[in-house]
Amino acid sequence: MTDSNDVTKSRHIFLKAALVLTTAVALTGSGVAVASDERPKPDKSATPIVNDALQREVAKHVMEAGPPGYIARIDNGKQIYTLAQGVADKTTGRPITVHDQFEAGSNTKTFTAVLALQQVDRGKLKLDAPVEKYLPGVVPNGENITVRMLLNHSSGLFSYTSDPDFFINMEKDPQHVHTDAELLAVAFKHEPYFAPGKGWQYSNTNYTLLGMILQKQTGKSMATLVEERITRPLGLRHTYFAEPKATGTGPGYAHGYAINYASGTPQYTDVSDWPLSWAGAAGAMISTTTDLSRFFSAVLQGKLFSQAQLKEMKTTVPLPEGSHIKGGYGLGLFRTDTPGGTVWGHGGDTNGHHSTAVATEDGRRTAVTNSTGEPNHLTENPGAKRYYQATVFGADTVNIYQMLDKPVPSEVLENLRGITPAAAE
């Protein structure tokens, strides 16, 4: 028997960890992380591997938190499991499929980091050179901020999406196409979080600057670079950089919804036709579960750049103390150490989607999910937002265990099942 106080305490810890992670990676995701051969002691009460009933329960919990659709693809090294629940389009009622394209959000950062490391291999970019060398006069204190600091979020530059008016202004004019200059103007109105190299803070501004460097050096757009250097070589036929909008929004596309919980009953705004220019090199990729699986597998196997650059990518800086998350951030890649093992990857949150893509260190196992709803950035019901965040993080935790071919501990399931709007208050 489990004491009810202990269960309540564990749920609160679980919720707190979920909130810390989500706060740390706004627009982003719950990246994950390294392979451990040490298996935990068998838990007789644990759930079997890639259990269909459990996966359907996970989808149920996620959708109860608001998203109209949920898809998952888990490759545990023995089998590929897929699941699709709900609808891709609330207007037509079309069922979602695991093959649907969706906004991949900050999984884009890994694509941008790959392009930067390819430039390093070509001798065009140096990780420890100052940003001032590549974008003279653009970045305040740019002579003391290196390319590496942009890639691993240790620059201290303020993230433009954290400006209190940023999403308020977006809702006033959702079709506005942002320029890089506009985004930087918002960011540079604010003081840095810390001196360059003296901390870690997730910032979309870092990747806007990386995109600018790449385009200046090559004379090509981000969309062209992604196609020529990543999607075409890997055969990713359903992945592209939105410039500025997703173009394939007909059948086979999962619409994304901003969810407003203010009235108690979720209200949905279809944001699928909103430009992704505000996310740009930090978050404008469109992809599928299969393509993201292939991409992250290729990244971890060093198929897109040299082994020297893979080593650089996996050189991490620690996440802030008190985050309750063991792991670190490399060059466009999260490393998260979980009780079940360590995995590498990223995640992404846009105005209408939450996605997570993770892989083992050897790239041979992957787990990719997408939820087609995201709390409205201006929601007036913080408890509902915490409920959503804790639920999707709980689902991600279950999927990591299943990807690692390890039973899901009963405590993890108790926590997921215990998340309710009231518990999140």
Catalytic residue of the set 30, 106, 155, 203: 106
Handedness of CA 197, 198, 200, 206 (dihedral sign): negative
What is the C-alpha to C-alpha distance for residues 382 and 178, in angstroms, rounded to an integer? Answer: 28
Closest C-alpha among 2, 5, 6, 22 to residue 393: 22
User: In the annotation, is 106 catalytic?
Assistant: yes
Instruction: Report residue 285: phi and psi, to 5°.
Output: -75, 145
- Which are the catalytic amino acids? 106
